[in-house]
Amino acid sequence: MLARIAAQAGTPVFVYSADAIRSQHAALTGALAAVPHRVHYSVKANSSLGVLDVVRRLGMGADIVSAGELARALRAGFVPEHMVFSGVGKTPAELATAVDARIGLINLESEAEFATLAAIARDRGRRDVAVGIRVNPDVTTDTHPYTQTGKAGMKFGVPLDQVIPLAQRVKESAQARLVSVGMHIGSQITDSAPYRSGAEKLSGLVVQLRRAGIGSLVSVDVGGGLGIDYGCEPGLEAAAFANAVAPLAQQTGLLLLIEPGRFLVGNAGVLLTRVLYQKRSGGREFVVTDAGMNDFMRPSLYRAYHEIQVVSEAPLDFARPRSTPLAGREGGAEGLVDIVGPNCESGDYLGLERALPGAVPGALLAVLGAGAYGFGMSSHYNSRPRAAEVLVDGRRF
Ligand code: LLP
């Protein structure tokens, strides 16, 4: 089917599997079955309307971080009550839009943000804005430095010692109710230990808040970040995650909220790209593809590893120069090739030093694990058009 999609939609193209999303959702909700919980899909991971439609039909809510994501989520049919609005830099206009839409939960990141929100609610005569506090629990995660968010000294969350004073301010305000406390400690986390320690800190915090007279809490939010298997290390098992966070819900009696993105869609998507040329330089062998860093940034930005496979040989009408050596057979470090894109930067690559003998001009390649933070982080750099996106559902696409 992948070859047929590439032929019809052209390349580069992202292809997503609805069934793969459904089975990840089933694994997660199955593991959490013992505790009352709600899943808010983190829209930033993949905000394609087709994907959002699959997610919404599974009964999930949406975790959004901008007015743009709000617009997409609304268009995909999510109801505002089932949305959580997070983000360290929500603009006054975005906060106003969220208040007007009656978003289910606005997660505060600072006292200054609350002052802005309260003024907006006051102007509108609103007295019932549901807010949460995103706490920085100061836990260490072993993930890429760019995607760590739960450690003190980072821009995210309200430091533990500032939570009670902020909660008091919310309580004293006539505009808002504090209904939740939460955390989001990072992304692509493959170990359950930081979830456990963050959850323990949140549990202690709930006790302190109640002692301080805050009796309005209804939920605790443990964020997203569940790591997946990209082919180099095992991902976080749903059961291990559930074991780490379920005690928080049990001890506090609060509804558990989670905000996974990558776990649901990461391995549900591939990026298809066609090989254009091969060339050799300074002892390295290059395979040049029609997808590059503007289409898929993760390798260039995070040095992320994504497995690459040959899907099919060159179509008959693809002009293949006779002199082209078979990739991986001649030249290159130990027969390995660099899969590089067409963008004008040396950091533009999809994979380095790979054994990929079939990657001859015209061949179709699949970059695996491209369902999360793929299209969403793509750009028009070099004035290149965006890749197409295709959703496969059963035998239809
Ligand atoms: N909740 C909040 C508040 C978040 O900031 C994020 C992701 C999530 C949930 C979902 O995280 P996930 O379950 O997908 O790990 N571009 C990077 C990932 C950045 C994640 C940002 N925040 C990458 O490609 O690895």
What spacing in Å lies between the alpha carbon of 253 and ligand 1's midpoint? 27
What spacing in Å lies between the alpha carbon of 126 and ligand 1's midpoint? 31
Q: Can you give the pTM of this predicted structure? A: 0.95
Q: Which of 211, 317, 344, 383 is catalytic?
A: 344
Give pLDDT tens digits for 109-149: 999 999 999 999 999 999 999 999 999 998 888 888 888 88
Please determine, for residue 319, whether its predicted confidence score (pLDDT) is greater than 80: no
Ligand 1 binding pocket includes 373 (Cβ within 6 Å): yes
Per-residue pLDDT band for 183 (boundaries 50, 70, 90) equals: very high
Ligand 1 binding pocket includes 226 (Cβ within 6 Å): yes
Ligand 1 binding pocket includes 305 (Cβ within 6 Å): no
Question: How does the average pLDDT of the chain come out, rounded?
Answer: 94
Give the tokens for residue 73. Answer: 């989520």
Per-residue pLDDT band for 331 (boundaries 50, 70, 90) equals: very low
Give pLDDT tens digits for 13-61: 999 999 999 999 999 999 999 999 999 999 999 999 999 999 999 999 9
Give pLDDT tens digits for 57-112: 999 999 999 999 999 999 999 999 999 999 999 999 999 999 999 999 999 999 99
Tell me if residue 232 is catalytic. no
Per-residue pLDDT band for 153 (boundaries 50, 70, 90) equals: confident
Nearest CA to ligand 1 atom 22: 187
Please determine, for residue 323, whether its predicted confidence score (pLDDT) is greater than 60: no
Ligand 1 binding pocket includes 221 (Cβ within 6 Å): no
Ligand 1: atom nearest CA of 224 is 13
Burial of 393 (0-12, 13-18, 19+ CB in 10 A): middle
pLDDT at 316: 63
pLDDT at 321: 52
Give pLDDT tens digits for 238-294: 999 999 999 999 999 999 999 999 999 999 999 999 999 999 999 999 999 999 999
CA proximity to 195, closest of 151, 241, 135: 241
pLDDT at 102: 97
